[in-house]
Amino acid sequence: MPIRKALAPVEFAEDLKEQLEKIAPARVLKPHETAHVGWLVDGEFDVIDGGSPVGRFFLGKFGVGQSVLSLHVRITDVKSGLVVYEFDMYGGSQLQGRAGTIRASGLGRALHFDLQNAAERIYLTLSTNPYRYGARANVSLPE
């Protein structure tokens, strides 16, 4: 479990990059790199707990075995150095039972679901039109 928790930031960085590429080009900086343009997304994990699949199996509907992910996110404009947006996030499997749902793992490894869901929530927070309202699949022009 400590190894999985140690790898969580790396996995989350890739999930977040994948989500933010829907808005604009994105990349994960290496430890010695600095950004010169754009927004810098950084933060800290407060709680990473994958929960217990066995607990979710037997008493998941009562909250036993639930996973918890809590993090603090900060968006900084690189040119000005000003923090553009800062917020806390809290999530997890909540009261999901053994079967789980699309957004929670049930008997699987909850941490992957939680990281992906958190990355998607950050994308939804930063995007001006995340659900693409007004976009059409087919454009029909009158002749």
Q: How far apart are CA 6 and CA 12, in angstroms?
A: 11
Q: Among 104, 133, 98, which residue's Cα sits nearest to residue 116?
A: 104
Q: How far apart are CA 35 and CA 114, in angstroms?
A: 27
Is 138 inside a domain boundary?
no
For 35-82, the pLDDT digits (tens) are 999 999 999 999 887 777 777 666 656 667 778 889 999 999 999 999
Is 21 inside a domain boundary?
yes
pLDDT at 88: 94
Domain that holds residue 69: 2-126
CATH number for the domain that contains residue 105 = 3.30.160
Is 15 inside a domain boundary?
yes
Is 132 inside a domain boundary?
no
Contact 114, 124 (CB under 8 A): no
Contact 112, 93 (CB under 8 A): no
Is 116 inside a domain boundary?
yes
Q: Is the dihedral of CA 67, 117, 41, 25 positive or negative?
A: positive
Is 141 inside a domain boundary?
no
For 101-138, the pLDDT digits (tens) are 555 655 656 777 788 888 999 999 888 888 777 776 66
Contact 89, 118 (CB under 8 A): yes
How many structural domains does the chain have?
A: 1
Is 142 inside a domain boundary?
no
Is 68 inside a domain boundary?
yes
